[in-house]
Amino acid sequence: MTANFLPCNPAYAQVLQKSSPRASFRRTAVLSDEPRSNDSSITVERTVRSEYSDRERYEVQLRQRIDAAQRGQNDWYESIVSVAQAQDATRLQQIAHVKAERVIERAEIHRNQRVQLEEHQRWITEETERRQIEADQRRREVAEQQANLLAQEEAENEARRRRLAEEEEQRRVDDERHRRVQAEQHAILQAEFEAEIRAQRRRLAEDAERRQIEQEQRRRQEAEIQAFIQAQIEAENEERRRQTEEAERQRRERLRECAVCLESQDMSTMIQVICSHWYCREHLRGKSFINLDHHQGCH
């Protein structure tokens, strides 16, 4: 258990650091293979012995320091344990105090809940009684209302029967008056209908006569138009015939007979020479005109 707490003590750590053999012991003698004199060997031996004695003293001091550090470590651990035990005792006391307070609070809560439950049960009892009283009162009121409603309904039924009888009588009177009015209106409408029929027949006869007159007038107008059109056509035909005859006369007047081929052609396509003879253009340019002798005697 002590070894677990050694690194936690600073004094013990310093002692361990100082007790290192490499830091506390240093050899000064140097051994050599070469032969030495007796004086030097004695000196070396004395030096080694003095160093070993110093080392033993140092080891004794080191063990004393280690023991002191160990005792300090144990005291420090015991103090820590005592402090921890004291803290545990204090914590246990606090836990016990908290538990006691919780028990007291729980008891208080149970007591309050019990009081509230008793008050709630008392309120439920009072509310049940109040509701029972209200239900009884409501039933009485409903019974009274039903009785009043039955009486009112009976009175309303009686009034309704009287009103229905009066309405039936009034309806019968109204129906009788309505039938008389309808009969009078029917007679008036029948007379008006017959008068309208006669008027329509008279209008139809007048319309038929007027249409017949209009048709006769239309036939006369069509005949006149047809005669006028026929006269116009005949006049146009006569004018066209006259123009045709005039054109034929003018065409004949313009015809000239070729002195070579003796064919008649329009004078615009022929040529007149000095002797008043007419020639075709091709005959006038050809040899036939040169070979002719009849134009020599022309004047």
Q: What percent of the chain has pLDDT over 70?
A: 79
Query: Whole-angstrom Cα distance, residue 66 to residue 50?
Result: 24
pLDDT tens for residues 28-60?
443 444 444 456 667 766 776 777 677 777 788
Q: What percent of the chain has pLDDT over 90?
A: 25
C-beta of residue 275 within 8 angstroms of C-beta of residue 256: no
C-beta of residue 68 within 8 angstroms of C-beta of residue 9: no
How large is the average pLDDT for residues 266-290?
Answer: 73
Per DSSP, which regions of the chain are E strands?
Answer: 255-257, 264-266, 270-272, 278-280
State residue 61's pLDDT score. Answer: 80
State residue 41's pLDDT score. Answer: 66
Per-residue pLDDT band for 181 (boundaries 50, 70, 90) equals very high
pLDDT at 282 over 70: yes
State residue 92's pLDDT score. Answer: 85
Lowest mean pLDDT of 65-79, 135-149, 170-184, 285-299, name the range. 285-299
Query: Whole-angstrom Cα distance, residue 12 to residue 2?
Result: 12
Per-residue pLDDT band for 73 (boundaries 50, 70, 90) equals confident
Q: What are the tokens at 115?
A: 């009081």
Q: What are the tokens at 166?
A: 């009066």
pLDDT at 127 over 60: yes
Length of the chain: 299
Amino acid at 63: R
Exposed / middle / buried, residue 292 (Cβ in 10 Å: 0-12, 13-18, 19+): middle
Which one of 65-79, 132-146, 283-297 scores highest in mean pLDDT? 132-146
Residue with tokens 């001091």: 61
pLDDT at 26 over 50: no
Residue with tokens 């009072």: 126
Report DSSP state, residue 264.
E
Query: Whole-angstrom Cα distance, residue 121 to residue 175?
Result: 75
State residue 284's pLDDT score. Answer: 72
pTM flag (> 0.75): no
